[in-house]
């Protein structure tokens, strides 16, 4: 996305009207969505394959006079279908305008906006949002805009989860944090976590834990059973990445009724658009189509990992639809520009722990081939 033009007049009065917290806020930086003909877009982990023909048909058919009506306020039909799919009740599910919306609601529902005094030892740290770094870079923004305290704790250097003993030893981890957000499999590292280690982490936490499983369909395992087992665990899923529906903005949480009910209380009355609800419902009727795409993307991921490794790149093992790589010969940031010159867009993060890496969406087999060909050529040139 092009940076939003924030001001045309530069009026100091206008600036003063904005809350100090908002003035100081560092907004989330989404991956670019440039409109360049022939661009190979491997920067935002979108699915290379379109929604199923059935989903496209049903959305097109729904575009008529009904657009004047409000959609179902709680996405009831979609929640019923999701409940069947996950073997739980509709009361265990809330649908959002993307899982991003639900992550924001979780911060508002479970975290106090300002740290009152220092939390007495052993008490729930009501104003703390906790997460590992690197993980989804939206988390600190959501915490900051709420006026909460952030506790960002580094993963191990190979991006694995520190064990409980390790977390205790390092002292920075807060077992009493009001809200802990865990991206699993992780982004942008691509690393998958075993359900057993996630369960151990959940058991150790006293506050709410959200397991953000945006990429679970590309992984060997998922932790959904934990959301139906514990009173304080939520699992976040999205139709964006695996189900080719980024444009429609549909995500959901699965979890215990009490937490889900709290989120329903504070959501917008019609938070999920009608065409998105229809698209997601039909997606669940057509899962064979999507599962074939998961297999294709995973096969391409394995192929791409092998080819880039042969060319001297260090490719981290991935259970997602992207790979994090340490490129050969040139600094990662130069690769971003060099590949851009060949109309291939990948993602580079300036954070110190990530600046030597590129994150590359797997894409179609054809896109991955084009990437490998461009890398080979740039290494020779």
Ligand X SMILES: *Cc1c(COP(=O)(O)O)cnc(C)c1O
Question: Least separation, in Å, of the C-beta of 96 and ligand X?
Answer: 8
Instruction: Report the candidate in 203, 201, 223, 220 with the shortest Cα–Cα distance to residue 211.
Output: 223
Let me know how long the chain is.
381
Does 240 contact ligand X by CB under 6 A?
yes
Q: Give 240-281 as a DSSP string.
A: STTTT-GGG-EEEEE--HHHHHHHHHHS-TT-S-HHHHHHHH
Shortest Å distance, C-beta 130 to ligand X: 16
| Structural contact between residues 195 and 235, judged by C-beta atoms closer than 8 angstroms | no
319 binds ligand X (CB under 6 A): no
CB closer to ligand X, 298 vs 375: 298
Of residues 81 and 241, the one with the C-beta less far from ligand X? 241
Q: Which of 47, 52, 99, 149 binds ligand X (CB under 6 A)?
A: 99
User: Measured from the CB of residue 36, what is the shortest distance to ligand X in angstroms?
Assistant: 22
At closest approach, how far in Å is the CB of 183 from ligand X?
A: 4
| Cβ atoms within 10 Å of 120's Cβ, excluding its own | 9
CB of 22 to ligand X, least distance (A): 21
Determine, following the binding rule CB under 6 A, whether residue 46 of this chain makes contact with ligand X: no
Backbone angles phi, psi at 168, to 5 degrees: -65, -45
Number of amino acids touching ligand X (CB under 6 A): 13
Nearer to ligand X, 246 or 262 (CB): 246
Q: For ligand X, which residue of 92, 189, 205, 238 counts as binding (CB under 6 A)?
A: 238
**Where does this chain touch ligand X (CB under 6 A) — which range of 46-54, 55-63, 92-100, 359-367?**
92-100
* Shorter beta-carbon distance to ligand X: residue 240 or 271: 240
Min. distance of Cβ 176 from ligand X in angstroms?
Answer: 24
State the Cα–Cα distance between residues 248 and 363, nearest whole angstrom. Answer: 20
Q: Which CB atom, from 239 or from 378, has the smaller least distance to ligand X?
A: 239
Least Å distance, CB 187 to ligand X, is: 5
Q: Report in angstroms how near the CB of residue 68 gets to ligand X at its nearest.
A: 27
Nearer to ligand X, 185 or 375 (CB): 185
Q: Are 308 and 229 in contact (CB under 8 A)?
A: no
The least distance separating ligand X from the CB of residue 294, rounded to whole angstroms, comes to 16
By CB neighbour count within 10 A (0-12 exposed, 13-18 middle, 19+ buried), where does 60 fall?
exposed
For residue 291 the two structure tokens come to 């599962």
Buried b (16+ CB within 10 A) or exposed e, 187-200: bbbbbbbebebbbe
Q: In the set 98, 162, 207, 327, which binds ligand X (CB under 6 A)? A: 98
Residue closer to ligand X (CB basis): 95 or 375: 95
| CA distances to 106, 198, 370 from 136, in Å | 15, 17, 28
Instruction: Specify the residue, 115 or 317, whose C-beta has the smaller distance to ligand X.
Output: 317
| Shortest distance in whole angstroms from residue 58 CB to ligand X | 20
CB-nearer residue toward ligand X: 52 or 97: 97
Q: In the stretch 123-162, what mask flags binding to ligand X with x, by CB under 6 A?
A: -------------x--------------------------
> By CB under 6 A, what part of segment 162-201 binds ligand X?
183, 187
Q: Terminal CA-to-CA distance of the chain, rounded, Å? A: 31
- Whole-angstrom Cα distance, residue 93 to residue 90? 5
DSSP one-letter code for 188:
T
Least Cα distance to 175 among 122, 132, 232, 223 occurs for 122
Phi-psi region of 148 (alpha: psi -120 to 50; beta: other; left: phi over 0): beta
- Report the C-alpha gap between 367 and 141 in whole angstroms: 32
Residues in touch with ligand X (CB under 6 A): 98-100, 136, 183, 187, 212, 214, 238, 240-241, 246, 251
């Amino acid at each position: 996305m092009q940076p939003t033009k924030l001001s045309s007049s530069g009026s100091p009065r206008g600036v003063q009207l904005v809350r100090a917290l908002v003035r100081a806020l560092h907004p989330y930086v989404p991956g670019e969505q440039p409109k360049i003909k022939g661009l190979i877009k491997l920067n935002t982990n979108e699915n290379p394959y379109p929604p199923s023909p059935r989903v496209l048909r049903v959305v097109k058919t729904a575009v008529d006079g009904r657009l004047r009506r409000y959609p179902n306020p709680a996405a009831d039909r979609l929640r019923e279908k999701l409940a069947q799919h996950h073997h739980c009740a509709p009361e265990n599910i809330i649908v959002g305008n993307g899982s991003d919306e639900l992550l924001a609601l979780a911060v508002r529902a479970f975290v106090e906006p300002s740290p009152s005094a220092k939390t007495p030892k052993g008490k729930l740290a009501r104003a703390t949002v906790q997460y590992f770094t690197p993980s989804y870079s939206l988390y600190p923004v959501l915490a900051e805009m709420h006026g909460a305290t952030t506790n960002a704790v580094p993963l191990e250097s190979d991006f694995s989860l520190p064990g409980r003993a390790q977390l205790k030893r390092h002292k920075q981890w807060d077992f009493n944090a009001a809200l802990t957000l865990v991206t699993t499999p992780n982004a942008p590292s691509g690393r998958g976590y075993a359900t057993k280690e996630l369960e151990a982490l959940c058991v150790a936490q006293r506050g709410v834990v959200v397991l953000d499983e945006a990429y679970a369909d590309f992984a060997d395992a998922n932790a959904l059973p934990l959301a139906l087992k514990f009173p304080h665990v939520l699992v976040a899923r999205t139709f964006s990445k695996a189900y080719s529906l980024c444009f429609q903005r549909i995500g959901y949480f699965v979890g215990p009724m009490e937490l889900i009910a709290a989120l329903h209380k504070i959501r917008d009355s019609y938070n999920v658009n009608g065409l998105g609800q229809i698209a997601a419902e039909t997606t669940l009727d057509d899962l064979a189509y999507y599962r074939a795409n998961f297999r294709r993307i995973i096969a391409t991921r394995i192929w791409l990992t092998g080819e880039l490794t042969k060319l001297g790149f260090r490719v981290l093992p991935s259970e997602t639809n992207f790979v994090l790589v340490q490129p050969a010969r040139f600094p990662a940031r130069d690769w971003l520009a060099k590949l851009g010159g060949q109309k291939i867009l990948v993602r580079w993060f300036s954070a110190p722990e990530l600046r030597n890496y590129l994150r590359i969406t797997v894409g179609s087999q054809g896109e991955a081939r084009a990437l490998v060909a461009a890398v080979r050529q740039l290494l020779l040139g």
